[in-house]
Structure formats: C-alpha cells, structure tokens
Amino acid sequence: MVDNQSSIMNDFGLIIAEIASAALTFILVRFMVKPYQYTGEGRYVGLPLGFAFLGASYVFMATALSIGDPSLVEEMKWLQIFTQAYAFAFLAVTYYFSKQPLKQNKRILWQILFSILIIGLFSSYLIVFVHPPFVLPDYKTVDEYFRGFNIIFASYISVYTLRSHAFKPDSKTILAPLGYVLLAFSQYSALIWSLDASLSAQVGSYVIRLASLLVFLFVSYKAFGARRTQRQKNRV
C-alpha cells in the first residue's frame, strides 16, 4: 500500500514537471519566432519548430503518465521519443545553417534536410498509430539510443553558440550556451536513470531541464521581450 502511494505521488510529481516544462517551452516558441520575423529567412523556422516539438514531447509524456490504458500509454511514449528527437534535430540543423547568408547550394541542402526531417517525423507517427508489418524494437533500448543522439545534437549546439559568443560576444544572449549545456545534461541524466534506475538521476534530469528552460526564457526576454518593451516606451 505504501509502495503504491509512493508510486502515485512520484507519477504526480513527474506529471507536474512535464506540464511545467511544456508551459515554459510553448512560451519560448513565441520568442523563437522573432528571428524569422525580423529576417524573413526560412531557415530560422526550425527554431520555433524545434521548441514546439520539444514542448509537444513533454505533453505526450505527461499524457502517458496520466492515463490508464496500457496501449495508449505505449503510443504516447513512442510519440514522445520521436518528437523529442526531431526537436533536437531541427534545432541542430537550424544552428548549422545560421552561420552565414545561404548561397544557392546551401539553400538547396537546407531545403532537402528540412524536407527529410518533416517526412521522417510523419513516417514515425504513422509507425506509432498504424501498426507496421514488423515488430518494433524494445522501447527502452530505442529511448536510450535516441537520448544519445539528443545529447550529441544538444552538445553540438552548445559548442556552436559558445564559439559564436567567443568571436562576437552579445550580453543579451551570453547565457544561451548555458541553456543548451543544461539541456544536454538533462538528457544525459535521463539516460543514466534509464540505464540504472537511479532516483537521483531521474530527479536531476527534471530539475536540470527546468533550469535550462528558465535560462532560455531569461535570454529570450532580454533579447526580444525587453527590446519590444523599449520600443513601446519610445512610442509613448
């Protein structure tokens, strides 16, 4: 009885953490649209898309923890894996192509990669909802592999943003690399939890994730929200 109550309380805490993560991420999407609005460059669409998919992955996991239907729980967990992986992939591709103005060949490559990601995303969803003629691999194994890829993508973005600030420091976005470093560590902590069921690693993954999202929110407000507030004051 005590173990059952402990499990329920643990799930409730995880659901709250997932909902809080989703809320912060969807707020961030509003800010992440700004680079595209300011530049009109289609390559920056991956930024809000990446964070939107990240938020959706948290919603899927919160749903999986909330419902009682075992088959639906499994579907939500698979959706969470795929959606989160594509979130990191969209962000990594966006940062890779943000180095300089795109020439024709780079623009074509960006369009090809973007199309592949979209097709792959929808194909993954079809695999979840339309039972394929083959047996899906073990969920836990796939989750661990995908978290490994997420760590690689987040680490790449961390290094990219660190190098960008080393060459051209910007006080408004100087903490952005920290956000991605924390996001990478949250994935690493979740991977450790998956491998050895460490409670501290599980709690750490959520705490570090929320910290990373708060860093992003702080940076985004300084970069975009404060600028908008200043413009409104100037008009007055």
Q: Decide if 160 contacts 95 (C-beta within 8 A).
A: yes
User: Chain centroid to CA 3: how far?
Assistant: 32
Angle between helices 176-196 and 199-220 (to 10 degrees): 160
- State the chain's mean pLDDT as an integer: 83
- Split at pLDDT 50, 70, 90, the class of 229 is very low
pLDDT of residue 187: 95
pLDDT, tens digit, for every residue of 118-170? 888 888 888 877 766 667 788 888 899 999 999 999 999 999 999 888 778 77
pLDDT of residue 228: 54
Query: pTM for the complete prediction?
Result: 0.85
Confidence check: pLDDT of 35 > 70: yes
pLDDT, tens digit, for every residue of 2-24? 344 445 556 788 899 999 999 99
Confidence check: pLDDT of 236 > 50: no
Q: What does the domain layout of the chain look like in residue ranges?
A: 2-235
pLDDT of residue 87: 94
Q: Decide if 38 contacts 223 (C-beta within 8 A).
A: no
Q: Does domain 2-235 have CATH number 1.10.150?
A: no
Share of the chain above pLDDT 70, in %: 85
Can you count the helices (H) and strands (E) in the chain?
9, 0
What's at 169, amino acid-wise? P
pLDDT of residue 154: 95
pLDDT of residue 165: 80
pLDDT of residue 213: 96
Give the separation between CA 78 and CA 142, rounded to whole angstroms. Answer: 9
pLDDT, tens digit, for every residue of 90-117? 999 888 887 766 666 777 777 788 888 8
